[in-house]
Chains A and B, each alone.
Chain A
Amino acid sequence: MSSLVASISFGRWIAIVLAVALVAAFPLFYENPYYMTVIVTGEIVLLLNISWNFILGMAGVWNFAQLAVYALGAYGSGWLMLHETWLPVPLAIVCGGLLAAGISLLLAFPTLRLFGIYTSLLTFSFAEVIQYAATNNPGGLTGGSFGFPAVGGLFPSYGQTSYLRAYYWVCAACCLGGCLAVAWLRRSHLGIALRSARDAPQYTAARGIDLRSARIAAFGLSGFLAGIAGGLYLAFEQSFTTDQMGLTPMSLDVTMLVIGGLGTVTGPIIGTAIVVAIQTWLISYPGWQLTVLGTILLVIVVFVPGGVVGLVVRIDSRIRLWVREDAEPEPSSSSGPP
C-alpha cells in the first residue's frame, strides 16, 4: 500500500479527494429520479467494467465470460435473498460474489491451457452455455428470460429519493473500493507479475515467475468483483433477465473499456461515463445508439490505440517534453567543436 500512496503526487491527492467528495455530495443536490436511476445503473456497470478491465486489460487474458460470471453472482445472491431470508442482504451479495469468484476460478483452469484468440473463444462459449442454460430456466432457478423473481433488496422500506441516494452511495463506495483495490494490486507483486506476463510472457516465465498462479488469482479476484456487481444489480433493479449477458451489453462493455483505455486504472471510469452519457443523450433515437457507439469503437481502436487515458498520457508527456526542451539550453549548441 505504501508504494501506491507514495506514487501519487500531492496535487493529485487533492484532486482525488475533491473528486470523491464531489461524487459523495452529488445526490444531496440532485434528485431527478430518472437520471439518478441511470447513474446508479452506470455505477453498477462501472464496477463490472473495473473487474473486467482487471482480467482483460491488466492481466491480458482475453476473458469474454465476465458477463456470465456477473450473472452467476446475481443468481447466487438472488437465490439466497429469496430462500434464505434470515441472511442479511449485504451478506447474500458477498456470498454471490464468492460464488462468482469460485466459478471464475474453475473456468481459469481450462482457459489457461489455451493461447490468444482461443482463450476468448473458450470463454465466449462458456458464457453462451450459461446464457442458454439460464434462459431454459432449469428447476425455476433463474426465472429464464422473464427475469429473476423480485427480491427485497438492500433498502426495502425506503422512499424513492432516499432509495436512490442509498444505492448511489453503496454502489459508489463499491466502485471506489474496486478502483483502490485495482490501483493497489497494479503495483503489488501480483499486478507486476500479471502485467509483465501480458507484455513479455516468455521473459516473465524465464525470470521464475509463475504465470499460471498469478493469472488464476486474477480470475478469482475479477470474478469476485463481477459477482458483487451482479448482486448489486439484482438488489437495485429487483430483477435480472438473461438479456443482461447477451451480445448487446457485452459489446457496450467492451466499447466502454476500449474507449477509456484497456489496462489503466481510470480507463473504465472515463469509458463508462462517456458511453452512458452518449446512451442517455441518444435515448430518443434507440436505433442510433449502437450505430454511433460501434463507429466510435472502430475509430478509437484504429486512430486512438490506448483510449482516452492513453491519449491524455501521450499529450501530457509531449507537453512535458516541450517544457523541458524550453527550460534547458540546447545541448548541441553549447558543446559543439570549437
Chain B
Amino acid sequence: MTDVVAIIVNGLVYGSIYGLVAIGMTLIYGTLRILDMSQGSMVMIGGYAGWWALSTHGFNPLVALLVAFVLTFVAGTLTELVSVQPLIGRAKSGDFEMVTFITTFAVGIVLANLALQHFGALQQNVPPIVGGVLHVYRGVSITYHELTMAVISVLLMAGLGLVLARTRWGLAIRAVAQDLDASRSLGVPVTRLYPITMGFASALAGVGGVFLGALYFASPTAGDLPLLEALIVVVLGGLGSLSGTLYAAYLVGLMQAFCEVKIGTTWTFPILYAAIVVILVFRPYGLKGSPSEARL
C-alpha cells in the first residue's frame, strides 16, 4: 500500500513537471512544425534566474518566477528570430522540420556553453520556493515545493488551454497550425506570431526551470535531462497534440515512479526509452498524434 501511494504521489509530481516542460515543445511543434531542441537551455536559464533571484538577492519567489518568465520569453523570441525566421519558406516542408531541429539544437549548444563560460561548471544551489514537508501516508511525504510546482504546472497548462481557446492570439495560433497559407491570406501576422509563440513556450520551460533548479541544481547541463524527458513525453503523446502531451506526461511520470520504486533508478531511463521504441513501432504517430491534419 505504501508503495502504491508513493508511486501515485511521485508520479503525479513528475507528471506535472514533464507536462510543464513538454507542453511548450508541443505548442511549438503544433503551430510551427519545429521540434525545439533549445527548450532544455530554457530550463537551464530558468534555473539560473531562480538562483540569481533567490540565492544571491533573496527576492520573493514570485519575482524569481517573473524574472525567469521574462528572460526565457526574450531568449525564446531571439532563438526564433535567429534560427527559424530566416528558414521559413525556403526548404521543403519535410526539410524544414529537420533543418530547424538542427538550428535550434545549435542554439541550445551555444546557450549551454555560454552558461558554462559565464557561471562555470559548478552546480549552484537554488532554494525551494516554499519550505516544509507534507506527510501523506506512512513514510510517504511530499515537499510543499513539489506540491506548489504541481499546482502551478496544472494552472499554467489550464491557462494555456484558455488562451488558445478564447483569445484572438490563441485563435491565430490555432489557425496557423491548421493552414499556414490560408491564415496568412486572411491577415494573420505570421512573422510576428512565430516569435511570440516560441517565446511563450520557452517561458513555460523557463518557469519550470526555476522549480527544477530547487529539485536538482542550476548548472550549464541542467537542461539536458529535462529536454530528454520532454522528448519522451511529446513523442509518446504524439507530436503537436496538447491533450496527448498531458496524458503522456502523467503516464511517463507514473511509469518513472513505478520503475524507481520497484526496479531501481539505474534502469528507469532505458525502460522509458524502450517503451518509446515499442510504442512508435505500433503507433507511428504516438498515442494521439495525427500525420498531417491540425493538431492543437
User: Which residues on A are within 8 Å of B, measured CB to CB?
Assistant: 62, 110, 113-118, 120-122, 124-126, 128-129, 132-133, 136, 247, 251, 254-255, 258, 287-291, 293-295, 297-298, 301-303, 305
Contacts and interface: CB of A to CB of B under 8 A. Distances in A.
Contacts of A62: 98
A144 to B, nearest CB: 10
A132 B273 contact: yes
Given A125-B273, A129-B274, A258-B102, A288 B117 contact: yes
Contact of A122 (B113, B269, B277): B277
B285 A118 contact: yes
B284 interface: yes
By secondary structure, the B interface counts as: helix
A294 B281 CA distance: 33
B110 A291 contact: yes
Nearest to A135: B266
A126 B280 CA distance: 11
A298 B82 contact: yes
Contact of B103 (A128, A133, A136, A298): A298
Given A117-B35, A118-B285, A247-B224, A290 B109 contact: yes
A-B pairs, top 10 by smallest CB distance, nearest first, are A294-B109, A294-B110, A291-B113, A298-B106, A297-B106, A132-B270, A110-B281, A129-B273, A290-B113, A125-B273
Interface string B258-296: 000000001101100110110011001100000100000
Contacts of A126: 273, 277
Contacts of A125: 232, 235, 273, 276-277, 280
B36 to A, nearest CB: 12
B8 interface: no
Interface of B: 35, 82-83, 86-87, 90-91, 94, 97-99, 101-103, 105-107, 109-110, 112-114, 116-117, 224, 228, 231-232, 235, 239, 266-267, 269-270, 273-274, 276-277, 280-281, 284-285, 291
Given A114-B280, A117-B101, A302 B270 contact: no
B280 A110 contact: yes
Given A133-B270, A136-B266, 4 more contacts: A110-B281, A118-B284, A288-B113, A302-B103
B235 A132 contact: no
Contacts of A120: 98, 101
Nearest to A289: B113
Nearest to A300: B106
Contacts of A289: 113
B286 to A, nearest CB: 8
A247 B94 CA distance: 24
A200 B84 CA distance: 25
A321 B207 CA distance: 55
A301 B106 contact: yes
Contacts of A122: 276-277, 280
Contact of B277 (A129, A247, A297, A303): A129
B109 to A, nearest CB: 4
A194 B113 CA distance: 37
Given A113-B284, A129-B273, A301-B103, A251 B109 contact: yes
12 contacts: A62-B98, A114-B280, A116-B94, A117-B35, A118-B235, A121-B235, A129-B270, A132-B270, A132-B273, A136-B270, A290-B112, A305-B91
Contacts of A305: 90-91, 99
B267 A294 contact: no
A290 B276 CA distance: 30
Contact of B284 (A114, A294, A302): A114
Which among A120, A125, A297 has the highest number of chain B CB atoms within 10 Å? A125
Contact of A298 (B101, B107, B270, B277): B107
Contacts of B267: 132, 136
Contacts of B83: 298, 302
Nearest to A298: B106
Contact of B102 (A114, A121, A297, A303): A297
Contacts of A129: 270, 273-274, 277
Given A116-B97, A136-B266, A294 B273 contact: no
A294 B98 contact: no
A262 B182 CA distance: 33
Nearest to B234: A121
A294 B280 contact: no
Contacts of B116: 287
Given A129-B274, A254-B102, A291-B110, A117 B97 contact: yes
A24 B87 CA distance: 42
A121 B231 contact: yes
**Which of B87, B90, B110, B112 has the largest count of A CB atoms less than 10 A from its CB?**
B110
A294 B86 CA distance: 17
Contact of A287 (B113, B224, B280): B113
Contacts of B109: 251, 290-291, 293-294, 297
Contacts of B231: 121, 124
Nearest to A126: B277
Contacts of B285: 118
A302 B86 contact: yes
Contacts of B105: 251, 254
Contact of A302 (B87, B224, B232, B273): B87
Contact of B117 (A117, A136, A291, A298): A291
Nearest to B118: A287
A247 B224 CA distance: 9
A251 B103 CA distance: 11
B102 A118 contact: no
A230 B35 CA distance: 30
B228 A128 contact: yes
Nearest to A248: B109
